[in-house]
Amino acid sequence: MSMPGPEYVGADQAMRLSAFSVQDHYPTRGRTVAELYRELIGQAELADELGYDSFFVAEHHFHEYGVIPNPAVMIAALAAHTKRIRLGSAVAILPFHHPLTVAENYAMADLLSGGRLVLGVGSGYLKHEFAGYAIDGAEKRERFDEALAVLKRALAGERLDFKGKFTAFDSVALNVLPVQRPTPPIYVAVLKREGAYFVGRQGHDIMCVPYASVDRFEEVGAMAAEFRKGRAEAGLAPETGDGLFAFHTHVAESDAACRREAAEAFDLYVETRLYAKRQTFDDILKSGLGLFGSVDTVVEKLVRLREMGVNHVMALMNFGLMTDDRVRRSMRLMAEEVMPRVRRRLAAGKTVPFRRQTGQ
């Protein structure tokens, strides 16, 4: 049985909320990989109970930057512990794998989840991962484009005769197909505005992490606008596309409480992330590219994001050894206090000017 597609909403209606984790690991600081996995499973269960749209996990290799090398395996585990929530990769790195293997893995994940898979894909960006797979990073765009073309056709059940630059095969078809037809929803990761335009023009949905793509909160809307522009130029209804925008998130009883609970964790996360922008907690408050603060503060920012054209936020709450109890408390505040107020504000058309946080 096919699951219904996402319900897209107009500018005056509710935005969607999902959860995300990079699964950053700190091997010298006590928490084991197995313990992190158990926390993630428990947090996915909670997100399911609270009505989050989707729960996403990242793919990373050969470093504690992230410790899920195959998101399809984790998605299968999460499927056994959840009932409704969609489960996704953010993202499956296509240049590292044979596209038929990727298709098989995620077809199984969709089956095991009862048609709840959201397939985020990307080309990768970490130098040590390309080195580990002995792949020239200069080839990543060509590899990605070829792999995505094969992946979509294979998931749709085609019998393929294919000869590309990196892969070739004759009369091959998957023996396991996904529940969702013709394919599960596919999102493409982008870093730049022109990427958002190009992906929109191709008819795909997008994923992006604004703090890695733009410098200020006010620039997020330009990414969303380029995505909609691409869709419009392709003859597609701009409002039907889904753009997932990921933000480091922590909601607390007050702005000061948020600083006490999240500043050290965020600084640890950025300090140990390879090749990331070296931003401190204070930097992210100044740029506005995080969802940090009290319920009031985060409500205001989400309303502003919706006005910019962002219709789907992916909250990154488990980062930098943030304790499980703090992650869960923040998840509850987002679902039970922040989002209902955001939806009421948007439905009523009542907004207030955005005020950038400069300190707490």
Structure confidence at residue 6 as a pLDDT band (50, 70, 90): very low
Q: Is residue 69 over pLDDT 70?
A: yes
- Per the CB < 8 A criterion, the answer to whether 80 and 147 are in contact is no
The amino acid at residue 103 is A
* 128 vs 63: CA distance, rounded Å: 8
Which of 35-44, 88-97, 272-281, 320-329 is the least confident region? 272-281
For residue 275, what pLDDT is reported? 63
Residue 357 has a pLDDT of 40
Tens of pLDDT, residues 80-119 = 999 999 999 999 999 999 999 999 999 999 999 999 999 9
Residue range 231-256: average pLDDT?
A: 93
Residue 295: its pLDDT value, please?
98
What pLDDT is recorded for position 359?
40
Amino acid letter, 15: M
Which tens digits make up the pLDDT trace of 175-192? 999 999 999 999 999 988
CA dihedral sign of residues 314, 329, 301, 14: positive
CA distances to 23, 50, 102, 257, 334 from 250, rounded to whole Å, are 16, 16, 33, 10, 9
The average confidence (pLDDT) of the chain is: 91
**What local confidence, expressed as pLDDT, does residue 182 receive?**
95
- Per-residue pLDDT at 276: 60
Q: How much is the pLDDT for 238?
A: 73
pLDDT of the residue at 279: 84
Identify the pLDDT of residue 14: 73
Question: pLDDT at position 355, please?
Answer: 39
Name 42's Cβ contacts closer than 8 Å, sequence gap at least 6: 324, 328
In order of their start, the domains of the chain are 16-187+210-220+240-348 (3.20.20.30)
- Cβ neighbours of 216 (radius 10 Å): 12
pLDDT digits (tens, 9 = 90+) for 321-335: 999 999 999 999 999
**pLDDT mean over 297-311:** 95
C-beta neighbour count of 213 within 10 angstroms: 20
Least confident among 53-67, 92-106, 237-251, 257-271: 237-251
Q: How far is CA 42 from the centre of its chain?
A: 18
Alpha helical stretches, state H, 117-192: 127-132, 140-155
The confidence score (pLDDT) of residue 277 equals 65
Q: Left (φ > 0), alpha (ψ -120 to 50) or beta: where does 323 sit?
A: beta
* Residue 123 contacts residue 94 (beta carbons within 8 Å): yes
> Which position has the token pair 């987002």?
334
Report d(CA 294, CA 256) in Å as an integer. 8
pLDDT at residue 259 tops 60: yes
Residue 316 has pLDDT above 90, yes or no: yes
pLDDT at res. 3: 37
In the chain, the N- to C-terminal Cα span, in Å, equals: 50
Q: Are strands 160-163 and 168-172 parallel, antiparallel or unpaired?
A: antiparallel
Residue 237, pLDDT score: 86
Please work out, in degrees rounded to the nearest 5, the angle formed at the alpha carbon of residue 300 by the alpha carbons of 45 and 217.
Answer: 95
* DSSP letters spanning 219-283: GHHHHHHHHHHHHHHTT--GGG--EEEEEEEEE-SSHHHHHHHHHHHHHHHHHHSTT-----HHH
| pLDDT band (50, 70, 90) for residue 273 | confident
Higher pLDDT: 222 or 9? It is 222
pLDDT above 90 covers a percentage of the chain that reads 85
Q: d(Cα 66, Cα 300) in Å, to the nearest integer? A: 31
Distance separating alpha carbons of residues 146 and 36, to the nearest angstrom = 34
What pLDDT band is residue 15 in, cutting at 50, 70 and 90?
confident
pLDDT of residue 350: 54
Question: Mind listing the pLDDT tens digit for each residue in 114-146?
Answer: 999 999 999 998 999 999 999 999 999 999 999
By CB atoms closer than 10 A (0-12, 13-18, 19+), residue 221 is: middle
Paired strand residues for 104:
none
- Name the β-bridge partners of 207: 189, 244
Residues 88, 56: Cα–Cα separation, whole Å: 5
Whether the ω angle into residue 182 lies within 30 degrees of 0, i.e. cis, is yes
